[in-house]
Structure 1
Amino acid sequence: MINPQVARSLAGAAPRSFWLDQPDAPDPLPALTGRVTADLAVVGGGFTGLWTALLARERDPSLDVVLLEARTAGWAASGRNGGFCSASLTHGLANGLERFPAEMPLLERLGAENLREIGETVAAYGIDCDFAPTGELNLATAPWQLDGLAEEAAAARALGHEVEVLDAAAARQELNSPLFAGGLRYPGGNAMVEPGRLAWGLRRACLEAGVRIHENTPVGSLARAGGGGAGLELTTPYGSVRAGTVVLGTGAFRPLLRRIGNYVIPVWDYALMTEPLTAAQLASLGWKDRRGASDLGNQFHYFRLTRDDRILWGGYDAVYFNGGRIHEEQAQRPRTFAMLAEHFFATFPQLEGVSFSHAWGGVIDTCTRFCPFFGTAYGGRLAYAAGYTGLGVGATRFAAQVLLDLLEKSGSERTRLTLVTSKPVPFPPEPVRSAVVQLTRSSLARADRNEGRRDAWLRLLDRLGLGFDS
């Protein structure tokens, strides 16, 4: 039986992403009709595709670039996330140090440069997405989550980061909750953005730079160009594109290049957005510097303030639907929304009576190493990136630079990285894939209930360097 307070809080929630549910959302651009040619065709109008198209034109204003989007720009993961624009290219320090220890100083430098350049681009193009370099809080909600924080802080400082270890009192001064037992405060390394407006702003910047964008234009097939022509050909419902080079940035959706599907699974993440808080409600939180925050459980929540003083509250229940199917109705999951609301009021009991204005879900491209991977095909005429695992708002711009470097065969500092030259461990085929993922999800939940103690299955995955996350 659902808690009456929770039921009331969700009664008026709109079933769509708050970020995309805005009165000034741009009108869709016309679908592609007829046969066209281009130097570069970009498939996917999320952050990967938009950054690739814009940076390609900035590198070479004479390059003819066309971008094809199945729905509208920013519609999928790029417009449904929490808006955490992290400098990390490796899904956090711990994951990067485990997988790319020798490269971490360079990866951290490149990530910091990338975040700075995102801010510069937002300013240069006048993108109104509330870009705010607030830093981040990582908060413990149970004593076992405090283990290792001092070591993590030392590792971060060794890589040049400013970080402070917080005890319970200091954590609650940063953000007032009876659950917070301590944590880490990072003054830098993360910016908060409104992801929908960032996508729309990049879309406008692309158009102003001369990129041809066609929305409501799903690509049905990809093949070498026929008739003896060089390049690749993409077919769409009402036309086709023949391009010298192609970039794929389609995330978790069915890849045009089959091999990508070995490394990526679609995981659904869910979020709630509150109504705007009153001045008294906001004061009761004492949310210093409006930093984005997350807790430190295996199943974790992420939460942040918006410019109009709403709280976004998401995460925890990362869901994989057996068989990897993706259907739009999966964006609504009432039992997950009820669970998230219960956790919200347990974390912030002073906000009793607050209602949620929006409740939505979105699919994330997850891989076994939690951070993006890259590749080429068709003799280097096609490049792709995928596997951001929920931390792609910032990393997509870096990925776009990598993809353009790969197509140019420039042998850059970026393309020599192990991050770029290696692949994650592939997922097993179905139905074993579903069994493995569901076993891992249940084991992670069990670990959270048992003071972080990891069972034999999770210890095996740790030894193999594998995992599951959103």
Structure 2
Amino acid sequence: MAAGAMSRSNDWTKSLSDAQPVPYWLDDPGRPRPEAALTGTETCDLLVVGGGYSGLWTALIAKERDPERDVVLIEGREVGWAASGRNGGFCAASLTHGLSNGLTRWPDDIHRLEELGARNLDAIEAAVARHGLDCDFERTGEIDVATEPYQARELEEWYAEIRAKGLAEGVEYLDAEAVREQVDSPTFRAGLWDRRGVAMVDPAKLAWGLKRACLALGVRVYERTPGLTLKPHGAGMAVRTPYGGVRARTVALGTNVFPNLVRRVRSYTVPVYDYALMTEPLSDGQLASVGWKNRQGLGDSANQFHYFRLSRDNRILWGGYDAVYPYGGRVRAEYDHRPETYARLAEHFFTCFPQLEGVRFTHAWGGAIDTCSRFSAFFGTAHRGRVAYAAGYTGLGVGATRFGAEVMLDLLSGERTERTELEMVRTKPLPFPPEPFAWTGIALTKWSLARADAHGGRRNLWLRTMDRLGLGFDS
């Protein structure tokens, strides 16, 4: 949407005056108390490192596959405090960061990938019911909206292409009138509504619910217990922690954006910071002015895109657009807040929804996304198959991490499964170069994407070269 436009009153920054610099989802009086830190030495069959979705799903599914398996999970801070508690709550079926990315990279496997993704989302919905996960799960779908004429043309062409390839099941094309009947913004020109492929969740409650389910099945969970080193120990592995350690037959690493305990994996991901705002609850009149009766998630079609959705109490989460890579690829708390981005997001919000002028934001926050060059997760093993890892979800991990957990468990068991046979699982993305080349390349890519948005989607020589190299900077 037009980044330079402003709301009629031109005083949109006032909407940020009371915004708390904390993630809305984590600012919850029902937040559970952390489990005690590990002191001394533990032994187990499977050690899971990381208490976000990746680690939680791995521990839970490991116990569901084999209730007798002895499982320990360690988390460096508190379960769900990082990306798993800060994201927009879009739980997508896609395993490939969207159909377009998957079709470009793995055309021979795409129908299988789409089927496995749909089954994975069904399995998440079933787990929510089975374990009583109180996470506001709503399978409302998502609308990809066009806000420029060229984007509307591209959406219509893309819809025709996926219909011809048999990949449009559950997807509906919406012209300008139809999309504004769903959600009313003067900027919307067309949309594609994926009716079943995305659910909305409260992301922190999902993480906390998974933790409770793990504990109920007998997983021993230790918080405030970072894994410091990983080394072979006899027939298994040993992980050192600040006050002790864990000896395990196998280890699953779900640390994502944080430095991997297998050092050679680190060059495959970089942290990119994303930011979001949350409004106060809308009144009945304000909500009626927008419509949104079907409560879908939305995202616009620009390279520098926004994502937005309703919470259970009818707040609007509004995030995206700026994607900030810190020089050196370090993850630091000081990067979690960026007032200039909050101001830009507020401006864009009132451009999209001028009828909501006067609405205020209650929360503003950011966090790091584990980004890889192909924009979707990669997998592997180390230490003769005793260690497995999954990383690189690039902002679409709420759903795909469950699939990644199953891949890690398959790899640790040595099984050949329908998952491990996928080219996506058997191959790696291109690693990022060292500094200053990584920062220069990412900065040039970001500038080029913004330029493409301002020039009818036309990709310059740099972006076309990235396309030919198979790098994933297309959104």
TM-score of the pair, normalised by structure 1: 0.97
Alignment: residue pair count: 466
Give the match's secondary structure for 1:148.
Answer: helix
Q: 2:30 maps to which residue?
A: 24
1:135–1:114: structure 2 CA closer, same or farther, 3 Å change rule? same
Displacement after TM superposition at 1:150 (Å)? 2.7
1:183 aligns with 2:183: no
Identify which of 236, 241, 249 aligns with 2:254.
249
- Equivalents in 2 of 1:61, 1:325: separation in Å? 38
Give the match's secondary structure for 1:147.
Answer: helix
Q: 2:230 maps to which residue?
A: 222
Displacement after TM superposition at 1:107 (Å)? 0.7
1:205 aligns with 2:210: no
Give the match's secondary structure for 2:11.
Answer: helix
Identify which of 387, 401, 404 aligns with 1:399.
404
1:464 aligns with 2:469: yes
Are 1:375 and 1:385, in contact at CA under 8 Å, matched by a contact in 2?
yes
Identify which of 63, 79, 90 aligns with 1:84.
90
Structure 1 runs of 4+ off > 2 angstroms? 2-7, 154-157, 467-470
List per-residue Cα deviations over 1:151-204 (Å, max 9, x = no partner): 322344312522222221112111111111112112111110000000000000
- Equivalents in 1 of 2:444, 2:338: separation in Å? 21
Output the aligned Cα RMSD. Answer: 1.2
Q: 1:319 maps to which residue?
A: 324
1:66 aligns with 2:72: yes
- Equivalents in 2 of 1:399, 1:166: separation in Å? 33
Identify which of 276, 293, 296 aligns with 2:281.
276
Unaligned runs of 5+ in 2: 1-5
Q: 2:3 maps to which residue?
A: none
- Equivalents in 2 of 1:200, 1:116: separation in Å? 20
Given residue 266 of structure 1, which amino acid in structure 2 is its aligned partner? P
Are 1:5 and 1:353, in contact at CA under 8 Å, matched by a contact in 2?
no
List per-residue Cα deviations over 1:39-73 (Å, max 9, x = no partner): 10000000000000000001111111000100001
- Equivalents in 2 of 1:8, 1:389: separation in Å? 32
Are 1:318 and 1:469, in contact at CA under 8 Å, matched by a contact in 2?
no
Given residue 175 of structure 2, which amino acid in structure 1 is its aligned partner? D
List per-residue Cα deviations over 1:384-414 (Å, max 9, x = no partner): 0000010000000000001000000111111
- Equivalents in 2 of 1:36, 1:469: separation in Å? 45
Identify which of 10, 14, 20 aligns with 1:8.
14
Displacement after TM superposition at 1:7 (Å)? 2.3
- Equivalents in 2 of 1:248, 1:281: separation in Å? 45
Q: 1:143 maps to which residue?
A: 149
Q: 2:421 maps to which residue?
A: 416
Are 2:146 and 2:155, in contact at CA under 8 Å, matched by a contact in 1?
no
Displacement after TM superposition at 1:449 (Å)? 1.1
- Equivalents in 2 of 1:37, 1:253: separation in Å? 24
Paired-residue identity, %: 61
Give the match's secondary structure for 1:21.
Answer: coil
Identify which of 31, 39, 44 aligns with 1:33.
39
List per-residue Cα deviations over 1:206-263 (Å, max 9, x = no partner): 00000000000111111111xxx22111011101000000011111111111111111
- Equivalents in 1 of 2:104, 2:359: separation in Å? 41
Given residue 186 of structure 1, which amino acid in structure 2 is its aligned partner? D
TM-score of the pair, normalised by structure 2: 0.96
Are 1:366 and 1:469, in contact at CA under 8 Å, matched by a contact in 2?
no
Given residue 124 of structure 1, which amino acid in structure 2 is its aligned partner? R
Equivalences for 1:230-241 in 2 at 5 Å? 230-241=235-246
